[in-house]
Amino acid sequence: MPKLLLATTNPGKIREYRFLLRNLDYNIVTLKELGINQPPVETRNSYEENARIKAIAYAKLSQLVTLADDSGLEVDALNGEPGVRSARFAGEAASDAEKIKFLLTKLADVPWGKRTAHFKCVIVIATPEGELEICHGECHGIIAFEPKGKNGFGYDPVFYLPEINKTIAELPLEVKNQVSHRSRAAGKARKILQEFHSQHIDFLDNHI
């Protein structure tokens, strides 16, 4: 069974991707499991560029098919902020609670009807040979006035989904992974990984 490297050290993302990519014919491994501890610096101005940097670098380093992503929250009342700076919006070492508090302070005077926002996720899959595939996903909602729920991570406790009447952090993982930006991008990634696997099997069949 071929290995698939998840190019992230975020425990929440690892947990979600293991769920989203379950039942694929891959042995999913992490950077920590491979002893890789030198992450590329994400300095670009788009999710795709940041994900591409990680996917290419780790695919070359590990010689494995590698999945990397970059994602962020874009709030309409803040002209799209925090965007690609979502993880660093409240400072490099800010906790999830501090990020949420900082965001809510910025939106303190913004009424409910103008608190619309969306999550974006871009997944890049890279092979050691340099092949790249890109998948996009979005999830639209409203920034709540206060955090609710203990599931998820990041800004999930204040990202309210009107159609479900709950924040993402109030949803069980299996429900979140039906509606989130990451699940929508990962659904496309599953198909690409299945194709990669089929090509791998065909190659082996033709060289035995």
Domain 3-206 has CATH 3.90.950.10: yes
Residue-level pLDDT at 38? 75
Residue-level pLDDT at 206? 40
Other residues' Cβ atoms within 10 Å of the Cβ of residue 49: 15
Residue with tokens 């069980």: 172
Residue-level pLDDT at 204? 34
Could you give the CA distance from residue 47 to residue 52 in angstroms, rounded to a whole number? 8
Residue-level pLDDT at 116? 98
Could you give the CA distance from residue 126 to residue 123 in angstroms, rounded to a whole number? 10
pLDDT tens digits for 159-208?
999 999 999 999 998 899 889 999 999 999 999 999 887 775 443 334 33
What are the residue ranges in the chain where pLDDT is below 70?
39-43, 200-208
Residue-level pLDDT at 202? 43
Residue-level pLDDT at 205? 37
Residue-level pLDDT at 92? 85
pTM above 0.75, yes or no: yes
> Could you tell me the two tokens for 100?
């949420």
Is 70 known to be catalytic? yes
Residue-level pLDDT at 173? 87
| Extents of the domains making up the chain | 3-206
Question: Pick the catalytic residue: 25, 69, 70, 76?
Answer: 70
**73 pairs with which residues across the strands?**
119
DSSP state of 7: -
Number of alpha carbons in the 13 Å side-chain half-sphere of residue 113: 0
